[in-house]
Amino acid sequence: MEVPDYILRLKPYVPGKTIEELERTYGLSNSVKLASNENPLGPSPKAIEAIRRALKDIHRYPDGSCHRLKKRLAEMLGIQSKQIVFGNGSNEIIELLVRTFLRKDDEVIMPAPSFLMYEIIIQAAGGRPVKVPLKNMVVDLKSMAEHISVKTRMIFVNNPNNPTGTIVSSEAFEEFLDKIPRQIIVVVDEAYIEFVRDRTCPVGLRYVNSDKIVVTLRTFSKAYGLAGLRIGYGVMREELVDLIDRVRQPFNTNVLAQVGALAALDDDEFFKRTIRTVHGGLDFLYAEIDKMGLSYFPSQANFFLIDVKQDASVVFENMLRKGVIVRPMSAYGYSTYIRVNAGLPEENRRFIEALKEVL
Ligand SMILES: *Cc1c(COP(=O)(O)O)cnc(C)c1O
């Protein structure tokens, strides 16, 4: 069998362990997962109710244009419906952008470490990831602009950046945009933008009508609590939407995801409670980590990095045995760091207890 060499070179993405997987392996129950930056409150109750009502319609194909959801979101964001593409998670939008606009051997500039899916998707399409190291844990936009070549087709900016939780400033972002040639697509992945507390954070949506091509990615998987439904979107110029619509499958978002997302957008009480829970959880965890004399990186997302000053994969394994799932950062090149997301108060306490015992 003949397989393209760039497919043979792919390393599979290793997702956070599921609770079921962990409990099965270690014979545990009542474990806590703080490894995939999910919403600790669960799904929005309004989304659950809307999904329950929509169950009787699942013999029908979904609305491939996501008409209602697009209309509501466009109103909310102050953009046009025609500037939105929905996907099976925002991950599918990354894939659609790459499949629509990248040619084999084109270069894509991205920060490193950052979200591992960029590299995998680009490599799977025969493109060339150009990884630019962070500077003091922050995406180095200046250096990224310096890496532009005639082959550069796209640039990914993850803001806040996963796994560091850091942001770039509006000022740095605008200086960066000024240097970008008009044919290059700048993709700003804002999966965690709802959690940002720093007012200097740029908002990608503001640049959708600018003279540079800026695509903003957002998701319902984090602040909206719908990771299992798989729905996210990209906001971009209409001409890009038209091209992507030719490439994407007509029914790429399902009936339940569409109604769930629509209801979640209208569940303001749940959204606000989520943000409060995450901010309160982070502040509690920072204080406890301080007391333990460990260092961490303050974050603008719903997760942060802790330096455990020893092999993080060992700490990860030992915490698993205590029923607490975190993410070791070895795959991202930080061998002594774990990433943990803010959970419910009780989950945060269990995490701190387990960490103290393990260290
Ligand atoms: C979680 C996450 C996403 C969301 O992906 P979905 O496919 O929408 O679930 C996107 N980008 C980054 C950096 C993330 O961490």
pLDDT at residue 351 tops 90 = yes
Average pLDDT over residues 16-44: 88
CB-ligand 1 contact for 118 (6 Å cutoff): no
Average pLDDT over residues 5-30: 82
CB-ligand 1 contact for 258 (6 Å cutoff): no
- Residue to probe by mutation, ligand 1, list 38, 92, 162, most atoms within 8 Å of CB: 162
pLDDT tens for 58-87 read 999 999 999 999 999 999 999 999 999 999
CB-ligand 1 contact for 191 (6 Å cutoff): yes
The per-residue pLDDT for 320 is 92
Average pLDDT over residues 40-47: 97
- Residue to probe by mutation, ligand 1, list 39, 85, 90, most atoms within 8 Å of CB: 90
What's the CA gap between 270 and 276, in Å, rounded? Answer: 10
Measured by CA distance, the residue closest to atom 6 of ligand 1 is 89
pLDDT class of 254 with cuts at 50, 70, 90: very high
Token digits of residue 262: 């629509």
pLDDT tens for 180-218 read 999 999 999 999 999 999 999 999 999 999 999 999 999
What's the CA gap between 65 and 287, in Å, rounded? Answer: 46
**192 Cα–ligand 1 center, Å:** 8
pLDDT at residue 252 tops 80 = yes
pLDDT at residue 99 tops 80 = yes
CA distances from 42 to 2, 37, 190 (A): 44, 12, 21
pLDDT at residue 23 tops 90 = no
Measured by CA distance, the residue closest to atom 3 of ligand 1 is 191
Q: What proportion of the chain, given as a percentage, has pLDDT over 70?
A: 100
The per-residue pLDDT for 232 is 98
Average pLDDT over residues 269-281: 98
CA distances from 314 to 23, 195, 248 (A): 18, 30, 42
The per-residue pLDDT for 13 is 79
What's the CA gap between 241 and 215, in Å, rounded? Answer: 10
pLDDT at residue 130 tops 80 = yes
* Average pLDDT of every residue of the chain: 96
What phi and psi values does residue 312 have, to the nearest 5 degrees? -65, -25
What's the CA gap between 319 and 264, in Å, rounded? Answer: 33
**222 Cα–ligand 1 center, Å:** 8
- The dihedral sign for the CA sequence 356, 116, 240, 245: negative
Average pLDDT over residues 112-116: 95
Q: Which atom of ligand 1 is nearest to the CA of 231?
A: 8
pLDDT at residue 112 tops 80 = yes
CB-ligand 1 contact for 89 (6 Å cutoff): yes
pLDDT class of 14 with cuts at 50, 70, 90: confident
**1 Cα–ligand 1 center, Å:** 33
Domains of the chain: 5-43+269-358 (3.90.1150.10), 45-265 (3.40.640.10)
What's the CA gap between 158 and 132, in Å, rounded? Answer: 12
CB-ligand 1 contact for 232 (6 Å cutoff): yes
The per-residue pLDDT for 323 is 92
Measured by CA distance, the residue closest to atom 15 of ligand 1 is 162
Q: The whole model's pTM is what?
A: 0.96
What's the CA gap between 264 and 241, in Å, rounded? Answer: 24
The per-residue pLDDT for 172 is 98
Cβ partners under 8 Å of residue 56, min gap 6: none
CB-ligand 1 contact for 127 (6 Å cutoff): no
**90 Cα–ligand 1 center, Å:** 6
Q: Please, are residues 231 and 253 in contact by the beta-carbon 8 Å criterion?
A: yes
Average pLDDT over residues 231-259: 98
Lowest mean pLDDT of 9-23, 152-166, 315-329, 333-347, name the range. Answer: 9-23
pLDDT class of 165 with cuts at 50, 70, 90: very high
CB-ligand 1 contact for 161 (6 Å cutoff): no
**104 Cα–ligand 1 center, Å:** 25
Q: Which atom of ligand 1 is nearest to the CA of 91?
A: 7
**348 Cα–ligand 1 center, Å:** 22
Average pLDDT over residues 258-265: 98
Measured by CA distance, the residue closest to atom 10 of ligand 1 is 191
Question: In terms of DSSP H, where are the helices of the chain?
Answer: 5-8, 19-26, 45-54, 67-77, 90-101, 116-124, 141-146, 170-178, 238-247, 255-265, 268-291, 312-321, 345-358
Measured by CA distance, the residue closest to atom 12 of ligand 1 is 191
Q: Which atom of ligand 1 is nearest to the CA of 221?
A: 9
